[in-house]
Structure formats: structure tokens, C-alpha cells
Structure 1
Amino acid sequence: MTRPLWILVFCAGAIMALSLGFRQSLGLFLTPISLDLGLGRGSFALGMGLMNLVWGALSPFAGAIADRYGAGRVAALGGLCYAGGLAALTLSGQGGQLLMGGLLIGAGLSGVGFSVILGTVGRAAPPERRSRALGLAAMGGSIGQFAALPYSHLILDLVGWQTGLMVIAATCLLMLPLSMGIAGSPQAMSEEGPRQSLRGALAEACGDRSFWLLNTGFFVCGFHLAFVAIHLPAYLADFGFAPWLAVTGLTIVGIFNMIGSYGCGHLGERYSKKNLLSLLYLARALIFMAFLVVPLSETTVILFSAAMGLLWLGTVPLTSGLVAQIYGTSYLSMLFGLVFLGHQFGGFLGAWLAGYIYDLLGSYDLIWWASAALGLISALLHWPISERPIVRREELAAA
């Protein structure tokens, strides 16, 4: 069954608003959970790191299932796992519940995150509109962050972290009816001709240097996002700032991310996607360095948040668009899921390593400088990527 593109993009964006928005708000719970349970920040950070790792590890499999059978059921199951993981965080224990919750949320995100949702949009959109459609769907995550952070902060203040997480889990069940809006036959949505075999698509991508450069470069994006989203609230609290500043900062990231995601999608239709990615990571590196050397104040936090927001998820329509441009759309969800796996390895390290280093040294400074250095490395890695559609080296299977 096919449906108008705008309906699919709207439902895809709404699912990403819920999944990415509430994922982004989990950093608000680091301090209250750690204090209430008497655990170091490393325990919560490990749970969030595992969330990112499982999300990445399962994304290629969820994407392959969505490529073959459609995304609706995959997204519905992902929404159930996501809500279950949030509920698991509220269980009593000595920290094991944080790991279990992180695992379940990560499994859920593999079904309602970038690879499945953007793969569906990428197949449905015609090539001349694909980059912008991907940007609009990714912008849903920005809108979700804008709405979810103040919503989560209000609930946290009103009912505490345990009941608050249960309320958020119930809200996330809205992903189930929304998944009906992206259901349908992937073959019907794909405008390509004969389809490769899955094995052929994997061999083709894995034998191409550009695919591995994308993987490695996207690792840095995951590191940046997980570190800032999870640890910025605690970092600001260490300097005596009130909680509202972290909420405001991350909300501003979401507001400006709406501009950045759509803007990068629009620019990707006119300019080289890999060159835009190089410039984006270079800009991130400069922003991290500036944030470290200027005096920390409410003004610098807000400026940092706005600048990071413009660059936050702009990587996603450009990276997924590159995968579609080079390798085609028949296995877009699965191939982007593999690229996203690199992103999530970075996310695991960004979340967990920052907490470990803080518990060890009592400071986040080393991670801030590492983030700047990684941004420079990623800028260099994207530059030699070849954007030309790959020349097929094997016979295409019959349609």
C-alpha cells in the first residue's frame, strides 16, 4: 500500500520526535538517579552507553527486516521496547536496572530510530526531493527535543524521577499508532528497478573505501551527541548553575536543530554532501574549543547550545543521502544501519567514557578536548569520499 509522501514524512517525523526527543532528555535524570541510588555517574553513563551500543548493533538487522517486509511492524515493536526500557529504569536494585533499561531502550531505538525511519522516507521520495524529505523527517527529532526536554523537566519536578519515567514511557506508546503511517510494501515505495540480493549489496558496500570512511566519520557524530546530551546537565551543575540552564541549553539545541536539519537537507540537494559534512565537523571542533577557552556563563552556554544545534542532526540527512546516492535505495535501511553502527560505537564511548573519566579525574575537560580533536579528524575523513553512484560489479537479481 502506498500513501502520499507528506503523510509518510509526517508520521516518520513524529516517531523520531518521540524517540529522539525523550532519548535526549535522559541526561536530566543522571543526577537524581545517581544521588537517590547512591551510585557514581559511571553506572548511569554505562547504561546510556549500552543503549547507544545496542541501538547501533541492532540497527542493520532492523533495517534489513524493514527493507524486506516494511517498516510499520518494526517501528511498532521498537516503540514497545522503548517504553519498556523507560519503565525498567524505575525498578529497584543496585544499578542492574539501569543496564537493563539501557539495553531495552537501545533495542527499541533500532526500530524507531534513524535507519528504519529514514530508510523508509529515502525509498519513498524521488531522487530530486530525497535530501529535503530526509531533512524534514530528521527535523522531527529536533522538534521532539524542543518539546520533550521541558516536558520531562516539568514532570521530574512535579512527581520525581520514578513516576516521571513511567509517564514518559506511557507517552512513548504513541509511536504504535504512528507506525501505521509508515507501513506498506517496500517494493511499492522503491522506484528502483531490479533489486540486488542482500549479500550482493553488503559485499558491494563493504568493498568500497567510501563506505568505511562514512562509518568512521559518523563515529565522531555519535561521540559528540551522546557526550553533550548525557553529560551537559551534570557539567553545568558542577559549576553551580541551576538546572534550568541545562534544560534551556538542550532545548535551544533542539530549536536550532530544526533549522540545521532542514537547512542541511536543502543544501545537500545543491552542493556536495561529503564536503558539507567536512565543513560541519570542522565547525563542531571550533565550537568545542571556543567553549573551553571562553569564561563559562549563562550567555556562553546559550551561544554554545545554539551553535551546536545548527550542526546537531544536520549530519543525518547528508549521511543517509550519501548512502542512497552511492549505493541506491533498495537496501537503504540496512546499509545506513551499518553506517549508523559506527555512530553508535561513538555514542557508547561518548556516554560511558565521559562518566568514567569524570569519576577518575573529577573533570570533563579531557573529554571536551577529545571531542574537538575528533571533530578535526572526521572533517579530514569525509573529504576523500567519492560521491559517484557505484558501478555494479555483479549481476542484479531479477525483480
Structure 2
Amino acid sequence: MISFGPRSAMGLFMTPISGTNGWGRDVFGLAIALQNLVWGIGQPFAGAVADRFGPMRVLMAGGLLYAVGLALMASSSTPLTMDLTAGVLIGLGLSGSSFNLVLGAFGKLLPTSWRPVALGAGTAAGSFGQFLFAPLGISLINSFGWQGALLIFASLMLLIVPLSVALATRRTASADGSAVTYVPPSQSIKQALREAFAERSYVLLVLGFFTCGFQLAFITTHLPPYLADKGISASIGAWTIAMIGLANIVGSLSAGWLSGRRSKRLLLVWNYFARGLLITAFILLPTTPATSIAFGVLIGILWLSTVPPTSGLVALMFGTGYMTMLYGFAFFSHQVGAFFGVWLGGVLYETTGSYDLVWWFAAALGYASALINLPIKEQPVARLAGSAA
């Protein structure tokens, strides 16, 4: 909940930071695009370390980097320093402290029967962070300025360090039923990667996740200024982002519950297709406070509802031994999409004076990912299928 909050509120800082420094939206957009890309690049490595040695130390290091990045971002006055703080440092912090690490730990801590619901609950916690931090962010900016808001956010990130102690050990079934310390997977990292990328279904899953990142990052960063251009107040923009987070609590929990009872592949297909339809409708309808809030609620239901079936498919295909790392590679594709969503939003806005092209591209990607996920096979790899037999 804590780690997901500030990064989901970054769009609220675009206008005040750009205005203070005399930048176009492409400058701030590039920094947040870099943040998403660095987050994606670092995620598989953070996941590999967590899979081998447990998630606690990784979460602690990530939380500290996150806090430092936010604190230094408050004093960044040039595009380069903004890229290094908001982009690189916060991106590295997110790779070590985001919900991806928590979901991987849940996959190991909890029995198979509880895993889908737990993945949904972990995702919903991130959404609740978005709901809390969006109105909190606009309130802090109004009360203390954007620098003060960032410093308060930085102090809150330090709470990740003590909270991560809860994931210090892995509870496995021992002979006497007691808890034992973390047990690393039997495969090597190289063997796990070779097995995963030889699976066509995993590659399709990774490719389809690109769309999720593109849509989420573009909307999170550029929706508040887009609404401001349409004459909608900043408070409505903040509440639209908050409603996305609130609605996604329902969406994530529902997706987690359904992932244990329905086809995970079809859940992804319908999610991406519905996103395409919803974005198309939002483009074509008049932009008003009512349609903005309604869009926030509806897109929020679909927002992170891709995460439980995606992470669940990774666990189903390959087991939980390297779940955090392999989901990290899927998430890297997600973050490459996020990079292009944020970056193209800023560049095309400065070039054309409008976000229209990016909105249409986001809708088209939704339809494309629905098709990409159709051929996925929901079954364990030969190694696990053979063991089960």
C-alpha cells in the first residue's frame, strides 16, 4: 500500500514542477518514463535475489532508495537531476519495494488454495495506496507546496523497512509442522530462464503485459493535466485517480477470486478488450467532471485486475520457486510499455498540442493484447507435469 502510493500520484506533480522550472510536459514525462523503465529493468534482478535469499532485505533496500529518491526529487531544478532522482533512484527503489516482491512472497508463504485470493489482496492493497495518496498528494501540495509534499512522501516510505520484517521467513511444511527458514529453489537461475522463454505461452503473456503498462502509466501521469486542459479542476483530477484506486480494490479482489475458479487466460482477454472499449468511449464522449469520475471508476475495476491472473499463470506454469523473478520479466515488459506511455504522452502533447493520438493508441493496444492472450495454454511445464504424474 505504501510503496504504490507516491508513484501513482506522480501526475499531480507535473503541472506545479513544470511551472516552477519553466519546463514543457515532455521533461517531467521523460523522468517518469525513465522511472518506469528502471523499475522494469531492476525488477527481475530484485526478484532473483528475493527468490534466492528471501524478500526482507530486498524490500528494506528498496524502501530506503525510494525515500532518498523522493527527498532528492524535491530539490531537483534541472532536467538531468529530475531524471536521476524521479527517474533512476525512485525506479530502483520501486524495483525492490513494490507489490511485485510482496506477491512473490505471498506465493511462497501461502498454500495453493489461498494463492489466487492472496494475490488479489496484495494487488488491492496497492490500489488502496493509490486511493489514499491521490487526495493526500493534492492536499499536501496545496498546504506545503510540491517540495514539502515530496518530503512527507519520502518520510512515509521509511515505514517499508520495519514492515518488511513480516516476510523474513518462508513457512514450509516440515516434519513436525513447524516453520523453517527460507528454502531456495532447486533450479539454477539460468535453467529457470531457459525453461521459461522456451514456453510460447509465457512469451505471449509477457508480450501482452506491455499494454497494461502503457495504459496505466499514461493515464496515471497524463490524465490530471489532460483534464486540466479540458477545464476540469485539479481536485477532480486527483479524485479521478483516487477513484481508480478505490474501484480497483474491488477489481483486484474479484480478479483474484475468479482466477482460482475461471480461466486466467480468458480473464486477461476480456480485461484487455474491455479496456479498449472503455478508452474509446472516453475519447468520444464529452469530458465533464461526471464522465471523468465515471471513467475513473470503470477503468479502476480493470486497472490491476490483470495482475492476479498474470502472476497466477506464472505460478501455474513454472511453480513458485522462481515466481518473483519470472513475474519480474513479465513486469519488465509492462514497464517498457509504461515508459512509452508516459514518454509518448509528453512528446506528442508538445508536438501536436493534444493527447488524442496517444489515447487512440492506448485503445488499439487493448484490442491487440486481447488477441495476443487468446492462444495461451493454462498448464504446467513438462518438468512439473512429469512430477505430478
Cα separation, 2, equivalents of 1:236 and 1:60: 35
Among 318, 336, 356, which residue is 1:327 paired with? 318
Match of 1:85 among 49, 69, 87: 69
Give the corresponding residue for 2:52. 68
Helix, strand or coil at the partner of 2:304: coil
**2:51–2:184 CA contact under 8 A, matched in 1:** no
C-alpha distance after superposition, 1:191-247 (max 9, x if no partner): 999722221111100111111111110000000000000000000011111111101
Check the 8 A contact 1:27/1:231 in 2, yes or no.
Answer: yes
2:176 paired residue number: none
Name the stretch that deviates more: 266-275 or 112-121: 112-121
Runs of 4+ aligned structure 1 residues displaced above 3 Å come to 185-194, 393-396
Confirm or deny that 1:134 pairs with 2:119: yes
Pair 1:220-2:205 in alignment: no
Task: Kindly state the Cα deviation for residue 359 of structure 1 after the two structures are TM-superposed.
Answer: 0.6
Deviation at 1:281, TM superposition (A): 0.3
TM norm structure 1: 0.92
Query: Aligned in 2, Cα 1:328/1:190: closer, same or farther, shift over 3 Å?
Result: farther
Count of residues in correspondence between the two structures: 380
Contact 2:99 2:126 in 1 (8 A): no
Structure 2 match to 1:207: 198
User: Does the 8 Å contact 1:264/1:314 carry over to 2?
Assistant: yes
Match of 2:244 among 237, 242, 253: 253
Q: 1:373 to 1:316 in 2, by over 3 A?
A: same
Map of 2:140 onto structure 1? 155
Give the aligned partner of residue 154 of structure 2: 169
Q: What residue number does 1:181 align with?
A: 166
Residue type at the aligned position of 1:80: L
The percent of aligned pairs where both chains have the same amino acid is 46
3-state SS of paired residue (1:155) = helix
- The alpha-carbon deviation at position 149 of structure 1 amounts to 1.0
Name which of 53, 58, 65 aligns with 2:37: 53
> 1:115 offset after TM fit, Å?
2.8
**Is 1:308 paired with 2:299?**
yes
Letter in 2 for 1:29: F
- Quote the Cα distance in structure 1 between the aligned partners of 2:301 and 2:10: 21
Equivalent position of 2:269 in the other structure = 278
Q: Distance in 1 between matches of 2:21 and 2:129?
A: 29
Residue 33 (structure 1) aligned to one of 17, 20, 32: 17
Q: Which whole-Å CA distance do the structure 2 matches of 1:145 and 1:329 have between them?
A: 28
CA contact (8 A) 2:108 2:170 kept: no
Question: Which residue of 212, 234, 249 maps to 1:243?
Answer: 234
Residues in 1 aligned to 2:76 and 2:89: alpha-carbon distance in whole angstroms: 16
After superposition, the Cα gap between the structure-2 partners of 1:194 and 1:304, relative to the gap in structure 1 and judged at 3 Å, is closer
* Match in the other structure for 1:121: 106
Answer with 282-291 or 387-396: which moved more.
387-396
How far does the alpha carbon of each residue in 1:327-361 deviate from its partner, in whole angstroms, 9 at most, with x for none? 11000011000111000000100111110110111
Residue number among 360, 363, 378 corresponding to 1:387 in the alignment: 378
State the TM-score, normalized to the length of structure 2: 0.94
For structure 1, list consecutive stretches of 5 or more residues without a partner in the other structure. 1-16
Report the CA distance between 1:123 and its aligned residue.
1.3
Residues of 2 paired with 1:209 and 1:118: CA distance? 24
Q: Which string of whole-angstrom CA distances, capped at 9 and with x for unpartnered residues, describes residues 261-318 of structure 1?
A: 0000000010000110000000000000000111111111111111000000111111
Runs (5+) with no aligned partner, structure 2: 173-178
Deviation track 1:123-168 (CA, whole Å, cap 9, x = no partner) reads 1121111110100011111111111111111110001001111111
- TM-superposed CA distance for 1:44, in Å, is 0.5
Contact 2:134 2:238 in 1 (8 A): yes
Q: What SS does structure 2 have at the residue aligned with 1:166?
A: helix
The equivalent of 2:341 in structure 1 is 350
Where do residues 96-107 of structure 1 align in structure 2 (5 Å cutoff)?
A: 96-101=80-85, 102-107=87-92
